[in-house]
Structure 1
Amino acid sequence: MKTRNLGASGLKISEIAYGNWLTHGSQVEADAATACVHAALEHGITTFDTADVYANTAAETVLGEALKGERREGLEIFTKVYFPTGPGAHNDHGLSRKHIRESIEGSLRRLQTDHVDLYQAHRYDYETPLEETMEAFADVVHSGKAHYIGVSEWRAEEIRAAHELARELHIPLVSNQPQYSMLWRVIEDEVVPTSRELGIGQIVWSPIAQGVLTGKYKPGEDLPAGSRATDEKGGADMIKRFLDDDVLSRVQQLVPLAEEAGLSMAQLAVAWVLQNDNVSAAIIGASRPEQVADNVGASGVVLEDELMSKVDEILGDRVERDPAKTQSPATRDFG
C-alpha cells in the first residue's frame, strides 16, 4: 500500500482509505463490517473515514469496535460533522459552535479514542457565520481532540475563505472530501486548482460511482438483486443518476481497457482517480472482505496516457463537469 501526504501537510495516509458510508450500521451487519475493516488493515490500509451521521452515529460505533486493540499511532481516523444526528432537533445539525463542540465529544466516545486525526465539515453551513465555525474548529484542534481540519463538498471560494481564517487561527486546514470519479469530475475546473494553490488535498469518495464503474450494471438488464441500486436506505437515490443505458453501455466499453491493463474494473476506476496529483486518497467501501482485496490492487498503479485518453473518448459528453454541482444544502431545514 502506497502512502501520500494529506495536502501540503506532513501527515501521511494510505492512498486508499476505507470508508463506511452506507454500509456499517445499516446495510452490513456488525460481524461483516468488522471483517471488512480487518481486511483493510491486512492489506495495508491505515486511513479510515466515517461521519457521525452515517447510520445516525452507528457507523462510528461499529468502526470504533472494529479498530479496538489496534495501535492508535499507526492509524489515521477521520470523521465529520454537519448533518442531523440524534432526534434531529434544531441544534442537532449544522456547524454552530454548540453542535461542533457537542459532536466531537460524541464522535470520540463512539470511536473509542481521545482524538481524531482529521475532523471535517461535512457540508458548508449557510446559516452559521464562517468565523464561528472556524473558531469552534480551532478550539477542537487546540484542545488536542483533532490534529487537522478538513471540509467536504465545499466550493472553491468557500475553501479559500476558510483557509484564510484557518491561517489566522493557527489551525491546519488540509483537505476537502468531494465526490470524484471518471463520470463525476465537477471539482476539476475550480476546486482542484484552488486546492493546489492552498496546499489542500482531495480525499475523494465514490471513485467507483457507487458501483457503476465495476460494470455489473448492464444496459437493458434488470438491476442485480441486493445491489446498491436496489437499496432503499439511501444507495438507490445516489446511484440513479448513472443508471442510464447510454452511460452503462459506455462503461461496458471500458472493460477491454481494464483487461488490457491487467486490472479489474474497480481497480481501473480507483487507479484513475489516483492519477490526479491533487488526490491524497481514494475512499473505498465494502460489504465483503473480498471487495477490499480487489480495490487495494489499484494502489501504486500508473495508467498510461493512451489509456487515460481512451477513457475520455469513450465516456465523452456523459461525464458531469459542471462546478455548480458542488453544493451544500441552502438551509439546515432537514424536516
Structure 2
Amino acid sequence: MNGYKSPGWDLFGSPVCKTGGWKRRTLGAGLGESLSSPHQCMTHGQRDCGLETFLKTHELSLLEMSMRYRNLGKSGLRVSCLGLGTWVTFGSQISDEVAENLMTVAYEHGVNLFDTAEVYAAGRAERTLGKILKKKEWRRSSYVVTTKIYWGGQAETERGLSRKHIIEGLRGSLERLQLDYVDIVFANRMDPNSPMEEIVRAMTFVINQGMAMYWGTSRWSAMEIMEAYSVARQFNLIPPVCEQAEYHLFQREKVETQLPELYHKIGVGSMTWSPLACGLITGKYTDTVPEKSRASFKGYHWLKEKAISQEGKKQHSKVKELHPIADRLNCTVTQLAIAWCLRSEGVSSVLLGVSNIEQLLENLGAIQVLPHLTPQLVTEIDQILGNKPNLKKDSRA
C-alpha cells in the first residue's frame, strides 16, 4: 500500500506494549453471524504483500483479522458489521492517497460496505471513492456501495425526492462513482413536497433499470417508513430494506424503540452512523477543540458549541465513567462504544468515519469486544448513562 506505515496500534486497536510486544487476541463468532478472513474476500494477486509482512513481523494471524457479516435487515444482502463512511473525510478532510490507504486496509480486513452521498463534499466524495475503486480493480461483486439522494445542486429540480431528481441524481452519482450500479440508494431525508407513491415508484424504477439493487431511507420516521412499505405493497412496488439512523451512547431512542418493531414487522434493518457522536465519545473535545478536528471546520460550529455546552460536559463526564469498564475488557472506550452499537437488535452495520489508519484499526477492534458485552455489562453501562429508553430490547452480544 502506498504510504502505509505500521501504526502505534495493533490490528484491533490495542496500543503497542511499552516492551515492544503486541497483544494477541482471538475472535469468536456471535449468533447469526459469519466470520471470514480477508483472503476469502479477494484474489491472491489483490492481497498486499506489505500487509502480510506486517502480520508476520508482529506474529498476527489472518484469522485474527476476521470480519463479521450480517444480513441487511431481512434481505439476503450480506454486509460487514462495520462499514466505511465518507462524510467529511473523502474529498475534503483527507487526501486521496489517505482515502485509498483507508479503503485498502478496510477491504483487506473484510469490510465490504462503503457509504457515500451526492452531497458529500459537493460530489467530490463520490468521485474519490469511484477513482479508488477503479484503481484497485476489486471484483465488483465483492463489495457494497451505497449512496444517498436529496441535495444534488442549487436548482429547485436538483434536490428533493421528485421522480426527476431521484433518477437524475442517481445517474449523476453513478457517473461520479464510475459504476454501473450502486447496491443501495438511500433517500437522504423525507421530502414533504413529494408524494410517497412518487418516491416509491421512482425507487422501484431505478432498481428495475439496474441502477440500484435495493433502496433505503435515511433519517425517516418509523411512520414514514411504514407508509412507504404500505404504498409498495398496495401497488406491487419495491419497499425499502434499510434505514440509516444516527446511533450512539447518547442518541438511543429511535434505534432502540422504533426500528426493532419495523425490523420484525416488515424486515427493515438499521445501518447506523456517528457511533462516536462526531468524536465527542473519543474524548478529543474534553478540554478544547483541537486543530484539524471536525469541530474546528467551517460549517461545524454546531459541533463545537455542543462539545463545550453543559450537556457536552455531562456527556464527557459519563464517558470518563466508562473507562473502568473498557479497562476490564482490555479495550478502549472508542471500541466499547462501537461494540455497544453493534449489540443492538436489528443493527446490520455501523458506519465508521475515520481520517487515518490508526483510527481505522482501533475502530475495527470493536468486533472483538462484542462477544464480551454480557447482559450484566450492558446493564452497568445503562446505569452510567442513565438514558435507557423504556422498552424491551434484545442483545446481539
> What is the TM-score with the length of structure 2 in the denominator?
0.76
Residues in 2 aligned to 1:239 and 1:44: alpha-carbon distance in whole angstroms = 34
CA deviation map 1:103-152 (0-9, x unaligned): 11111111111011101100000001111111111110111111111000
Matched, 1:249 2:314: no
Distance verdict in 2 for CA 1:242–1:193, change over 3 Å: farther
| 1:60 aligned partner, one-letter code | E
Partner residue of 2:71? 5
Residue of structure 1 in register with 2:386 after alignment: 316
Query: Quick check: 47-56 or 24-33, which moved more?
Result: 24-33
Report the structure number with the largest CA radius of gyration.
2
1:328 is aligned to: none
Matched, 1:43 2:109: yes
What displacement does 1:163 show?
Answer: 1.1
After superposing the two structures, state which structure 1 stretch, 47-56 or 297-306, moved more: 297-306
Return closer, same or farther for 1:133/1:170 CA change in 2, 3 Å cut-off: closer
Structure 1 runs not aligned, ≥5 long: 323-335
Distance verdict in 2 for CA 1:209–1:198, change over 3 Å? same
**What is the aligned length?**
315
Aligned residue among 295, 305, 323 for 2:375:
305
Paired letter, 1:280: S
Q: How does 1:1-335 map to 2 (within 5 A)?
A: 1-68=67-134, 69-83=137-151, 85-86=152-153, 88-167=154-233, 168-187=235-254, 188-218=256-286, 221-234=287-300, 236-238=301-303, 240-243=305-308, 244-299=312-367, 301-302=370-371, 303-317=373-387
Say what the alpha-carbon RMSD is for the aligned residues: 1.7
Give the distance between the partners of 1:240 and 1:186, measured in 2 at CA.
Answer: 23
- For the 8 Å contact 1:174–1:199, the answer to whether it is kept is yes
Say if 2:116 and 2:125, in contact at 8 Å, map to a contact too.
Answer: yes
Instruction: Note the alpha carbon deviations across 1:145-183, whole angstroms, 9 max, x for none.
Output: 111110001111100010122333342521000000111
Q: TM-score, normalised by structure 1?
A: 0.90
Distance 1:71 1:239, change over 3 A: farther
Tell me, yes or no, if the aligned pair for 2:207 and 2:213 is still in contact at 8 Å: yes
Cα contact 1:134–1:165 (8 A) shared by 2: yes
Separation of aligned partners in 1, 2:94 and 2:232: 37
Which AA in structure 2 matches 1:177?
Q
Pair 103,214 (structure 1): closer, same or farther in 2 beyond 3 Å: same
Higher relative contact order (CA 8 A, sep 6+): 1
- AA matched with 1:237: W
Using the TM superposition, give the Cα deviation of residue 239 of structure 1 relative to its aligned residue in structure 2, in angstroms. Answer: 6.1
User: Helix, strand or coil: the match of 1:280?
Assistant: strand
Aligned residues of 2:228 and 2:239 also touching (Cα < 8 A): no
Percent of aligned positions with the same letter in both sequences?
40
Unaligned runs of 5+ in 2: 1-66, 391-397
CA–CA separation in structure 2 for the residues paired with 1:107 and 1:98: 14
